Structure 1
Amino acid sequence: MHVEPVWARTQLSAVSYSTVQAWTSELAQRRGAKVVRYAHGVLYGICEDAVRDSRLASNPCRGVKLPPIVKKPNVYLTGDQLHALARESGRYGSLVLLLGTAGLRWGEAAGLRVGDVDFLRRKILVHKNATGGSVESLKGGEHRTLAVAKYVVDELATTVAGKGRDELIWPSSTGGYLRPPATHDSWLSGAVARCQKTAAQSDPFPRVTAHDLRHTAASLAISNSANVKVVQRMLGHKSAAMTLDVYADLFDDDLVAVADKLDRSVGKLWAPGLGLDA
């Protein structure tokens, strides 16, 4: 979409640092930083292959200034807001509850089949990721098992009533894998708009995406005393450090709690006036 229309008919010898810089700068005026960096990476890889094939002396994409990626604050729903959104989401209500309490990625949820859910033990096996209309195994062939709240499992049971074990829980209108809802004009954006319309002025309903429901799951877990290792396993992060990097703001209250506990335990052993300044 961004590389081929501009560069497909350009001779390698005509690709220069200045032309690449001009292209990325123009693209940055129309698209976000992530898109610009991804498109630049594609062209960079092509030129790098040309260098290895001795068709270019050096990579003209090297050193090009790219727009910085500014991390947006995570958006979290409260439990009441999550339930309100689920009620407004119609047949996708159980999907909203699952995303907002178990923290699956969109593709992981879209790839779930009835047989992946153990309704008696309230567990879900996550081992597939549906993206771009197709499905693939998780990276490295890994999988994880999630425990799910009883009320969410009950809603899932209603959703899959009458379906076979191999059927998708939430198929698209054509029977394939459900794609992420668009920011505008989708069932999710419509549900969010209805929630915003009925929300009290003192507690406005935030604008949320499907990925924000994953953030919500992390927030609800941490507010219910889940430690970082539990949240890491739930979300499928590679390390606890990654979880802390993404959700450091959610652990601020833990820092205060630790300080308060130290005050009540170790602090009471402290004898004032010991002359620390001496």
Structure 2
Amino acid sequence: MAVRDGRISRNPARSVTNLPRKRWTPRHRYLTNQEVFRLAQAAPDEPRRTLILTLAYTGIRWGEAVGLRVDDLDLVRRRLVIRRAVTEVEGAMYVDVPKSWQARSVPFPDFLMQPLQTLVNTRDGDELLFKSSAGGILARPDTAQNRHSWWSTAVRDAGLDHLTPHSLRHTAASLAVSAGANVKVLQRMLGHKSAAMTLDTYADLFEDDLDNVAERLNERATAEVDARYLAQLTRTSRKKLIRD
């Protein structure tokens, strides 16, 4: 502006090379309930249908899901106990502690009880809950290089696009918030180290909270305060606004 108006001859900022760049974070992909079930129906078999639903409604990571064993499933309390996670490095599978460095218990909705029970009935206690056709660890689908993987095929058949398994973790966060989960609950569910990390990652999911708070305050006030007083207050404010 100053250069254009002739107040200075050149832009002094042009010579500065170490200015911090604004980091752009792409918006997460969130599926609706209908899209999740459509994707699950497009999976090639029952175990992978159950895996898709588990990822989308618990928010656990892929490595945590494929590291689950039958003994990690608590059907009485409807909990998945996350004790380990699988990491794939150059095709080799490594089993380690979860990313948060501690075990956690994650709830799952009641409709997942029967599909998970069906898997349990076909496995021993120390067997992997979700496993490959050879009985080993189920590798994460290569969505970038293999358009013919079972995942890519299911995504296309479901009429979706640009979707990775990690999108189901984001979806779980979105569905949980829409169901009323606050930041602390979401943090525990996802296994984040802090609520600040959860809020930084999913700040867009909480943008409507301010509007919701205002609506609830209005509902509570109108329900508990005499309507005549509210009407009088509104008239007084309107008169003052006109005078001002």
TM-score interval, smaller chain: 0.7 to 0.9
Q: What's the CA shift for 1:84?
A: 1.1
In structure 2, distance between residues paired with 1:113 and 1:99: 15
For 1:69 and 1:168, how far apart are their aligned partners in 2?
40
Normalised to the residue count of structure 1, the TM-score between the two structures is 0.67
**Within 2, Cα distance between the matches of 1:174 and 1:264?**
58
Aligned residues: 208
Unaligned runs of 5+ in 1: 1-62, 197-204
Residues of 2 paired with 1:260 and 1:149: CA distance?
28
Cα drift, residue 266 of structure 1: 5.8
**Residues 221-256 of structure 1 deviation map (CA, whole Å, 9 limit, x = unaligned):** 111111111111101111112111111111222221
Question: Tell me, which stretches of 5 or more residues in structure 2 are unaligned?
Answer: 1-16, 223-229
Query: Of 106, 113, 138, which aligns to 2:98?
Result: 138
| Larger RCO (CA under 8 A, 6+ residues apart) | 2
Are 1:221 and 2:176 matched, yes or no? yes
Matched, 1:261 2:216: yes
Q: Which residue of 2 aligns with 1:209?
A: 164
- CA drift of 1:206 comes to 4.2
Q: 5 Å matches for 1:59-74? A: 70-74=24-28
Report the alpha carbon displacement of residue 68 of structure 1 after superposing the two structures with TM: 8.3
SS in 2 for 1:182: coil
Q: Is the 8 A contact 1:129 1:137 kept in 2?
A: yes
Q: Is the 8 A contact 1:112 1:168 kept in 2?
A: yes
Counterpart of 1:105 in structure 2 is 61
Task: Go from structure 1 to structure 2 and tell me whether the alpha carbon gap of 1:140 and 1:237 turns closer, same or farther (over 3 Å shift).
Answer: closer
Alignment correspondent of 1:148 = 108
What fraction of aligned residue pairs are identical, expressed as a percent? Answer: 42
User: 2:156, 2:55 → 1: CA distance?
Assistant: 19
Structure 1 residues 71 and 119, CA gap change in structure 2 (3 angstroms): same
Moved more, 178-187 or 126-135: 178-187
C-alpha separation in 2, matches of 1:241 and 1:178: 32
Aligned equivalent of 1:169:
129
Distance 1:250 1:116 in 2: 30
Change (3 A) 1:140 1:208: closer
Which is helix-richer, 1 or 2? 1
The residue identity in structure 1 corresponding to 2:125 is R
Distance across 1 between alignment mates of 2:51 and 2:65: 8
Asked if structure 2 preserves the Cα contact closer than 8 Å seen for 1:84 and 1:195, the reply is: yes
Change (3 A) 1:106 1:248: same
Superposed displacement of residue 207, structure 1: 3.0
Identify which range, 83-92 or 136-145, moves more after superposition: 136-145
Equivalence for 2:33: 79
The whole-number CA distance in structure 1 between the counterparts of 2:162 and 2:123 is 33
- Tell me which amino acid in the other structure corresponds to 2:183: V
Please give the TM-score of this superposition, normalised by the length of structure 2.
0.76
What SS is found at the alignment partner of 1:171?
coil
8 A contact 1:75–1:206 mirrored in 2: no
Counting only pairs closer than 5 Å after superposition, residues 190-209 of structure 1 correspond to structure 2 as: 190-196=153-159, 205-209=160-164
Of residues 112, 118, 123 in structure 2, which corresponds to 1:158? 118
- Computed over aligned residues only, the root mean square deviation of the Cα atoms, in angstroms, reads 2.7
Change (3 A) 1:248 1:175: same
Whole-Å Cα distance in 2 between the matches of residues 94 and 176 of structure 1?
17
CA distance in structure 2 between the partners assigned to 1:252 and 1:233 by the alignment: 20
What is the identity, as a one-letter code, of the residue corresponding to 1:254? D
Residue pairs, 1:28-39, within 5 angstroms: none
Aligned partner letter, 2:157: R
Residue 133 of structure 2: SS of its match in structure 1?
Answer: coil
Counterparts of 2:23 and 2:118, CA distance in 1: 42
